Amino acid sequence: MILFEEHAELLTLFEKFKELKTKEDQANSLELAEHASTVMNTLDEGIKELDNLDTFFEYLHQVGASHRRIPGFKVEYFWKIEKPFLTAVETTLGDRYTENVENIYKITIKFIIETLVKGYDNANAPT
Ligand code: HEM
Q: What is the CATH number of the domain that holds 58?
A: 1.10.490.10
Give the pLDDT of residue 41.
93
Residue 107 lies in a domain: yes
Count structural domains, the chain. 1
Ligand 1 center to residue 69 CA distance, Å? 10
Secondary structure of residue 123 in the 3-state scheme: coil
Which residues have C-beta within 8 Å of that of residue 70, sequence separation ≥ 6?
13, 17
Angle between helices 32-48 and 99-122 (to 10 degrees): 110
- The reply to whether 57 falls in a domain is yes
Binding site membership of 80 for ligand 1 (Cβ less than 6 Å): yes
* pLDDT digit string (tens) for the chain, length 127 residues: 666 667 777 778 877 776 765 655 655 566 767 888 899 999 999 999 999 999 999 999 999 999 998 888 999 999 999 998 999 899 999 999 999 999 999 999 999 999 999 999 999 766 5
* Residue to mutate, 13, 30, 59, 78, ligand 1, most ligand atoms under 8 Å from C-beta: 30
What pLDDT score was predicted for residue 123? 94
As a whole number of Å, the CA-based R_g of the chain is 15
Residues sharing a CB contact under 8 Å with residue 79, sequence separation 6 or more, in sequence order? 113
78: in domain: yes
Residue 101, domain member (yes or no)? yes
CA 58 to chain centroid, in Å, comes to 15
pTM of the model: 0.86
Cα separation, 119 vs 45, whole angstroms: 16
Q: Is residue 86 in some structural domain?
A: yes
Please indicate whether residue 30, judged by its CB atom, sits closer than 6 Å to ligand 1.
yes
127 within a domain of the structure (yes/no): no
Range of the domain at 22: 2-122
Alpha-carbon distance of 77 to 82, in angstroms, equals: 10
pLDDT score for 8: 73
Residue 50 in domain: yes
At residue 62, the pLDDT reads: 97
CB neighbour list of residue 4: distance below 8 Å, 6 or more residues apart: 10, 11, 32, 36
| CA dist., res. 18 & res. 119, Å (int) | 24
